[in-house]
């Protein structure tokens, strides 16, 4: 399976500003001083060798959108945050705009940051495309239609040329969709959210964002450990520090890197992908959280290692 992160940011898209960009350039130029870098090829090779992720990369700013490739011709997507715009454009660039496709979209929930990319997802404007949107919320279809209504957007939902269907799923039930086994799990979030576990050919991916974990509920903790059990990859809401998540931001509906590591260790998962980054966090801060999380995994490890990944827009993960 191949997982592509198109949007990793939580709550609100952000962009890399000029001062942050210049800071990266300054650090790279200083590091390059005296190294005879006088061609673009040498510069690219040099950048590839800089170990500081925050200098050479940005975690990116699109809100939640993740693609799961299982080898079939149909697209499987989790959430329609602003990252969906780039996914749609990529499909057009790869196949041209006129080739029809089938899309299966799984919605964690219907908050704005998770649906805002849909009106900018180019395939909805091409007849012949078939888009099935799955979710567990009663308001699933209404949320998408409302977003396309005046005064929020100029093109009414009913005028979209693509064939669009909405499919309600029941949490806890195992479905066969796009060649994968898919199971949803209810999560604690304002208005509820749902995580999804995808299984194919002995591999498994869990997409679990916008999920707060009440630490004093042991049964619920064990239920999530079961949901994550043996997963090759868990994409996890690590928006806050633990201290914030259990104090000033309690009941805000998000979790932490600490709880992500604990649940994945309990579950025997292989990889943890820190996801839904806090919008106020810059690249250096997120890179610090990533580094600390790797360290936490190292000092608390009792079994097989858990690989710690930090999601960034454009990241591809092969499992």
Partner 1 sequence: MELAERHAGKALVLGASGRIDHSSAENFRVALQPHLEQCKTGTFVIVLDFSGVEYISSVGLRVLMLAAKQVKSQGGAIGVAALQPVVKEIFEISKFNLVIPCFTAVSDALAALSPSALTSHGAA
Residues 6+ apart with CB under 8 A from 210: 10, 108, 109, 111, 114, 187, 189, 193, 237, 253, 254, 276
Given a contact cutoff of 8 angstroms between Cβ atoms, the answer to whether 14 and 82 are in contact is: no
**Nearest distance, CB of residue 242 and partner 1, angstroms:** 4
Q: Nearest approach, Cβ of 210 to partner 1 (angstroms)?
A: 18
Q: Token pair of 155, please? A: 């093109």
Q: Is beta strand 307-310 parallel, antiparallel or unpaired with respect to 316-318?
A: unpaired
Question: Considering the rule CB under 8 A, would residue 300 count as an interface residue with partner 1?
Answer: yes
What's the order of all strands across the beta sheet hosting 316-318?
A: 163-168, 130-135, 102-106, 75-78, 65-69, 2-7, 316-318
Q: Measured from the CB atom, is 23 or 292 closer to partner 1?
A: 292
Q: Counting contacts by CB under 8 A, is residue 40 touching partner 1?
A: no
Task: Kindly tell me which of 65 and 272 has the beta carbon lying closer to partner 1.
Answer: 272
CA distances from 179 to 68, 160, 164, 201, 233 (A): 12, 27, 20, 10, 18
258 binds partner 1 (CB under 8 A): yes
**Contact letters for partner 1, residues 201-230 (x by CB under 8 A):** --------------xx-x--x---------
In the complex with partner 1, which residue's Cβ is closer, 246 or 310?
246
52, 186, 292, 307: which one binds partner 1 (CB under 8 A)? 292
The answer to whether 80 contacts partner 1 (rule: CB under 8 A) is no
The one segment of 177-185, 189-197, 291-299, 310-318 that binds partner 1 by CB under 8 A: 291-299
**Residue range at the interface with partner 1 (CB under 8 A); choices 62-70, 177-185, 250-258, 310-318:** 250-258
Residue 256 lies near partner 1 (rule: CB under 8 A): yes
Shortest Å distance, C-beta 234 to partner 1 = 16
Parallel, antiparallel or unpaired: strands 2-7 and 316-318: antiparallel
Scanning 42-50, 198-206, 241-249, 307-315 for contacts with partner 1 by CB under 8 A, the matching segment is: 241-249
Task: Quote the least distance from Cβ 241 to partner 1, whole Å.
Answer: 4
Quick check: 249 binds partner 1 (CB under 8 A)? Answer: no
Contact between 296 and partner 1 by CB under 8 A: the answer reads: yes
Residue 247 interacts with partner 1 (CB under 8 A): yes or no: yes
Of 92, 121, 108, nearest in space to 195 by CA: 108
Residues that bind partner 1 (CB under 8 A): 215-216, 218, 221, 241-244, 246-247, 256-259, 262, 266, 292-293, 295-296, 299-300
């Amino acid at each position: 399976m191949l997982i592509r992160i198109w949007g990793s940011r939580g709550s609100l898209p952000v962009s890399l500003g000029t001062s942050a960009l210049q800071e990266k350039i300054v650090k790279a130029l200083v590091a390059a001083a005296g190294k005879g870098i006088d061609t673009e090829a040498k510069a690219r090779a040099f950048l590839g060798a800089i170990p500081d992720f925050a200098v050479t990369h940005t975690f990116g700013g699109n809100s939640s959108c993740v693609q799961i490739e299982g080898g079939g011709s149909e697209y499987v997507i989790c959430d329609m945050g602003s990252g969906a715009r780039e996914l749609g454009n990529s499909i057009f660039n790869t196949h041209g705009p006129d080739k029809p496709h089938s899309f299966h979209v799984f919605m964690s929930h219907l908050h704005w940051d998770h649906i805002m990319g849909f009106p900018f997802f180019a395939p909805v404007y091409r007849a012949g495309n078939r888009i099935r949107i799955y979710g567990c919320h009663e308001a699933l279809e209404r949320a998408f239609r409302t977003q396309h209504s005046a005064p929020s957007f100029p093109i009414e939902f009913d005028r979209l040329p693509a064939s669009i269907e909405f499919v309600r799923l029941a949490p806890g039930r195992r479905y066969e969709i796009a060649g994968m086994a898919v199971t949803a799990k209810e999560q604690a979030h304002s208005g509820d959210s749902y995580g999804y576990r995808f299984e194919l050919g002995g591999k498994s991916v869990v997409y679990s964002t916008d999920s707060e974990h009440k630490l004093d509920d042991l049964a619920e903790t064990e239920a999530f450990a079961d949901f994550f059990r043996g997963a090759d990859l868990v994409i996890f809401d690590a928006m806050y520090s633990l201290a914030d998540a259990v104090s000033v931001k309690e009941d805000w509906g998000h979790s932490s890197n600490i709880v992500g590591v604990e649940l994945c260790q309990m579950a025997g998962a292989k990889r943890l992908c820190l996801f839904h980054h806090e919008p106020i966090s810059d690249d250096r801060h997120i890179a610090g959280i990533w580094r600390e999380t790797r360290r936490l995994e190292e000092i608390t490890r009792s079994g097989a290692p858990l690989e710690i990944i930090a999601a960034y827009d454009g990241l591809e993960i092969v499992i």
